[in-house]
Chain A
């Protein structure tokens, strides 16, 4: 079903939003990605992903406060929705399940 599958970058963005809690807007998300995940993404890529996730219903947003360095413009603050939370958990559960099924030597490049 559409919206349940998360791309890798989408997952990172979603997690960053969750991490930033009520400070999640474009610039901060980009910053978090760079600092915590080492991913240098352009601001427009971040925007595009945020909007896409919102459209999928995994994020919701509201307008925040303006600041002077933004030229008096408000921020759009994102929050992870229940669906977003569930999608993240499902992804993680799927990974864990698969990790459990992987035989250790197989990952080291040899056959048992």
Chain B
């Protein structure tokens, strides 16, 4: 053994090796080491080390540095470019399958990403089309006593705000007539038209460009109406509608068209088809202007400038003190608060009581963006993965090029160029696919997205950046690694022996499958939760109850003898119960302030109220009684009677519910019965306390309980009976079950999205895996041949080839399962009634991924294993 000599600092040595020209390294390094050894005889170790460092640093001079360019002449310009292109096309042609897999994978990923981008862009652009959007706010009210935050406020609030707070320059109030009103022009009737009452200032606060008419006067007169262009086309075709008269809700309102506005963009939280002056409503309902607490209409205020918000907000408490003077016994600040909500925040961030329509959810925007990013990442990762795997097979080309004098930089450029070519083709394909799939996607998401959104400088810039990034990533790795190979080794095929997956590629495969497994688990959980929503017993017969809307005119007719009418309907064998009501499960029950007489608690409790209910409400729905009785025709005192649910008993802390007297703004009466808790609202929330006062004659819907199997007969019977009483009536009905299912539309969409993108993620991952295994097996052809000659069975070879991949799937599963569990549990936490994520979900997800992977891998490995070993050994 040689004596161990002290060695100079290794880092310095490595540094020298890095920058020193390879042909000079040996002697230079040798000299430095010799010097070091000599110094060591005279000097302490640290000093010798320091001197060595100094020598290394000083050696950093041009004479010793790596050669930047060889001295010989290199071909550049068109000649080489042509050669690169030829070689690129040749290698593409030789591996058509690979090229197809790789480009289509990236194209699909890009398509996903673009579609989601369009969707997210759409969600984020709500209400931004209003030119003054940044200084328009919606006033919302919090009532502390009943713990509600209202989107709507009382009619006098708007004018008071404008008059008393100088920062508020303008206001407009919107009062919805309903999203499904009926419009009549002459002989034609149109259903499902959404209308609102609005102040004439609505055109100042919002941007609603006029096509015809004058915005300053259009809504001034009481009998006027402004309609959108598409409604105008629906009602009158190409003719000008100005001056025409229309009838709204069957004789309830007559109005003359005074203006036509452009259609509202899809990105508005406040969609409507026509506007009628708010004055029309206020003139009829004097009480409305006196109410300070009725959460009836939406109040939008315009501030002088967005910077005025803090000032305006600071003045709100004092304003409210004056505005609500005398309403409460305790200080106003303990009972109510006003807030200003930015117009552009409403769609994604506002989920208040009494919204105009169900708003979007910013969480879904985040989830989708994350999915889009992941799918694109998977696709890029794939691209990089396949490109590197394949690049190895071009080692020899690199060797030849280097021998013939190609510089490293030239090789890098060549590989990057090829990657850029592929990426560009993939992007083209992706755009084409996006264009093709936009229609189905719009249908799925319930949106009207258009590719035109992409034609925006920032978007185009982002796309270009994405293109560049993918190109750099996919071409960069092979470019840097391959160009660095020693040509002699490359030619001898020594570096060829990377038949196993490299660390990096292993990581990439794991990453892909983590994402896939995550998405599959997500799909299962969301679907299961939806299924749970659909199948949970609601406490009443949702499938059998038909909800028939009746007009004001029809109600007048049947109210002459309601009981006789109901009796006549019940005579049909398919109908067991009929009730006239104003509120049905699945729709919004309003919250009112109820207090128990004699309990001393003055401010009462906010409770849901089922309004306009007649004697048979509970029976028609099939809700069970727990205590007492339902409303009875034989007890005249029942005119003011109440039914309450179990939650209300608990909320009001009633020991003896039957006989307690409830009071709602002077409408007082005894509780006659307690009904079982039933889900009158979606399963997102707990069952709330509900009170049901008897109030027949104000309902606008008939709840008809039908026998299963007779539904078609019942429907045609109902239509006949209604038309017999009022021929002009439009027969409009819905199943309560359907109304309920509508409440889960957001979750349904999410489930769809998860399903499609999980499928895509798996598809892309498999494309990648397929390509990867085919290269792996190709490189091990000889090994497989030798193994077979030595007696390996087919199954042994298949196992050998699949084992690596299966291990990676295992790792991916271990990473993805807890992640998915945590994320999906967070999602579920939003629901009051929810499923537990079971082990089965994970077993299924893992099983599916495993199966798909095995199918993908086994095709290649079986083919390799079944090949005649003679052929395999002759290869090369």
Contact status A44-B58, CB under 8 Å: yes
Q: Does B28 contact A (CB under 8 A)?
A: yes
* Chain A contacts with B in 18-44, Cβ cutoff 8 A: 25-27, 30, 42-44
CA distance A19 to B483 in the complex (A): 44
Q: Nearest B residue to A42 by beta-carbon distance?
A: B58
Contact status A68-B30, CB under 8 Å: no
Interface residues on A, range: 20 to 34
Q: Does A92 contact B (CB under 8 A)?
A: no
Contact status A63-B24, CB under 8 Å: no
Q: Does B94 contact A (CB under 8 A)?
A: no
Q: Mask for B246-268, Cβ within 8 A of A = 1, else 0?
A: 00000000000000000000000
CA distance A63 to B5 in the complex (A): 23
Most buried by B among A25, A44, A45, A66: A44
Contacts of A48 in B (CB 8 A): 61, 63-64
Known contacts A44-B58, A68-B5; is-contact A73 B64 (Cβ 8 Å): no
Q: How far is the CB of B308 from chain A (nearest CB, A)?
A: 70
Contacts of B34 in A (CB 8 A): 27, 67, 69-70
CA distance A47 to B55 in the complex (A): 11
Q: B31 is contacted by which of A26, A51, A63 (Cβ under 8 Å)? A: A26
Known contacts A68-B2, A69-B5; is-contact A44 B33 (Cβ 8 Å): no
Contacts of B58 in A (CB 8 A): 42-45
Q: Does A60 contact B (CB under 8 A)?
A: no
Q: B26 is contacted by which of A52, A67, A74 (Cβ under 8 Å)? A: A74
Q: How far is the CB of A44 from chain B (nearest CB, A)?
A: 4
Q: How far is the CB of A79 from chain B (nearest CB, A)?
A: 14
Q: How far is the CB of B618 from chain A (nearest CB, A)?
A: 97
Q: Does A110 contact B (CB under 8 A)?
A: no
Q: Does B460 contact A (CB under 8 A)?
A: no
Contacts of A71 in B (CB 8 A): 5, 7, 29-30, 33
Contact status B63-A73, CB under 8 Å: no
Known contacts A42-B55, A68-B5, A69-B37; is-contact A52 B31 (Cβ 8 Å): no
Q: B55 is contacted by which of A44, A52, A68, A69 (Cβ under 8 Å)? A: A44
Number of interface residues, chain B, beta carbon within 8 A: 22
Contacts of A42 in B (CB 8 A): 55, 58
Q: Mask for A1-28, Cβ within 8 A of B = 1, else 0?
A: 0000000000000000000000001110
Contact status B33-A69, CB under 8 Å: yes
Contact status B32-A43, CB under 8 Å: yes
Q: How far is the CB of B10 from chain A (nearest CB, A)?
A: 12
Contacts of A27 in B (CB 8 A): 31, 34-35, 38
Known contacts A43-B32, A47-B59, A48-B64; is-contact A73 B2 (Cβ 8 Å): no
Q: Does B27 contact A (CB under 8 A)?
A: yes
Q: Nearest A residue to B55 by beta-carbon distance?
A: A43
Most buried by A among B28, B30, B61: B30
Most buried by A among B29, B31, B55: B31
Contacts of B63 in A (CB 8 A): 47-48, 51-52
Counting residue pairs across A and B whose Cβ atoms lie within 8 Å, the total is 71
Known contacts A42-B58, A44-B58; is-contact A70 B28 (Cβ 8 Å): no
Contact status B2-A66, CB under 8 Å: no
Q: Nearest A residue to B60 by beta-carbon distance?
A: A44
Q: How far is the CB of B9 from chain A (nearest CB, A)?
A: 13
Contacts of A74 in B (CB 8 A): 26-27, 30
Main SS class of interface, B: helix
Contacts of A52 in B (CB 8 A): 63
Contacts of B32 in A (CB 8 A): 43
* Chain B contacts with A in 554-570, Cβ cutoff 8 A: none
CA distance A70 to B63 in the complex (A): 21
Contact status A44-B64, CB under 8 Å: yes
Q: How far is the CB of A53 from chain B (nearest CB, A)?
A: 11
Known contacts A27-B35, A69-B5; is-contact A44 B59 (Cβ 8 Å): yes
CA distance A91 to B450 in the complex (A): 83
Contact status A47-B28, CB under 8 Å: yes
Known contacts A42-B58, A44-B59, A47-B59; is-contact A70 B24 (Cβ 8 Å): no
* Chain B contacts with A in 1-47, Cβ cutoff 8 A: 2, 5, 7, 24, 26-35, 37-38
Q: B30 is contacted by which of A30, A44, A45, A70 (Cβ under 8 Å)? A: A70
Q: How far is the CB of A103 from chain B (nearest CB, A)?
A: 41
CA distance A42 to B32 in the complex (A): 11
* Chain B contacts with A in 725-740, Cβ cutoff 8 A: none
Q: How far is the CB of A101 from chain B (nearest CB, A)?
A: 36
Q: How far is the CB of B27 from chain A (nearest CB, A)?
A: 4
* Chain A contacts with B in 59-112, Cβ cutoff 8 A: 63, 66-71, 73-76
Contacts of B55 in A (CB 8 A): 42-44
CA distance A68 to B24 in the complex (A): 19
Q: Nearest A residue to B25 by beta-carbon distance?
A: A73
CA distance A67 to B35 in the complex (A): 12
Contacts of B29 in A (CB 8 A): 71, 73
CA distance A27 to B33 in the complex (A): 10
CA distance A27 to B38 in the complex (A): 10
Contacts of A75 in B (CB 8 A): 27, 30-31
Contacts of B37 in A (CB 8 A): 69-70
Q: How far is the CB of B602 from chain A (nearest CB, A)?
A: 95
Contact status B31-A43, CB under 8 Å: yes
Q: How far is the CB of A40 from chain B (nearest CB, A)?
A: 13
CA distance A1 to B34 in the complex (A): 37
CA distance A47 to B32 in the complex (A): 11
* Chain B contacts with A in 46-97, Cβ cutoff 8 A: 55, 58-59, 61, 63-64
Contact status B33-A26, CB under 8 Å: no
CA distance A43 to B52 in the complex (A): 10
CA distance A51 to B28 in the complex (A): 11
Q: How far is the CB of B411 from chain A (nearest CB, A)?
A: 28
Contact status A73-B5, CB under 8 Å: no
* Chain B contacts with A in 509-540, Cβ cutoff 8 A: none
Contacts of A30 in B (CB 8 A): 35
Contacts of B61 in A (CB 8 A): 44, 48
CA distance A74 to B23 in the complex (A): 12
CA distance A67 to B27 in the complex (A): 11
Contacts of A47 in B (CB 8 A): 24, 28, 31, 59, 63-64
Q: How far is the CB of B584 from chain A (nearest CB, A)?
A: 91
Q: Nearest A residue to B63 by beta-carbon distance?
A: A48
CA distance A72 to B37 in the complex (A): 13
Contact status B33-A25, CB under 8 Å: no
Contacts of A69 in B (CB 8 A): 5, 33-34, 37-38
Q: How far is the CB of B63 from chain A (nearest CB, A)?
A: 4
Q: Nearest A residue to B58 by beta-carbon distance?
A: A44
Contact status B33-A73, CB under 8 Å: yes
CA distance A51 to B26 in the complex (A): 14
CA distance A70 to B35 in the complex (A): 8
Contact status A63-B59, CB under 8 Å: no
Contacts of A67 in B (CB 8 A): 34
* Chain B contacts with A in 283-330, Cβ cutoff 8 A: none
Contacts of B27 in A (CB 8 A): 25-26, 63, 73-76
CA distance A30 to B38 in the complex (A): 13
Known contacts A44-B61, A69-B37; is-contact A51 B30 (Cβ 8 Å): no
Q: How far is the CB of B420 from chain A (nearest CB, A)?
A: 40
Q: Nearest A residue to B24 by beta-carbon distance?
A: A51
CA distance A111 to B63 in the complex (A): 46
Given contacts A43-B58, A71-B29, A73-B27, 11 further A-B contacts (CB under 8 A): A27-B35, A30-B35, A43-B35, A43-B55, A45-B58, A48-B61, A52-B63, A69-B33, A71-B5, A74-B27, A76-B27
Q: Which of B's residues lie within 8 Å of A, judged by CB?
A: 2, 5, 7, 24, 26-35, 37-38, 55, 58-59, 61, 63-64
A-B CB contact pairs (8 Å), 20 listed: A25-B27, A26-B31, A27-B38, A42-B55, A42-B58, A43-B35, A43-B59, A44-B58, A44-B61, A51-B24, A63-B27, A68-B5, A70-B33, A70-B34, A70-B37, A73-B26, A73-B30, A74-B30, A75-B30, A76-B27
Q: Which 10 A-B pairs have the closest CB atoms?
A: A73-B30, A69-B37, A26-B31, A76-B27, A70-B30, A48-B63, A44-B58, A44-B59, A71-B33, A70-B34
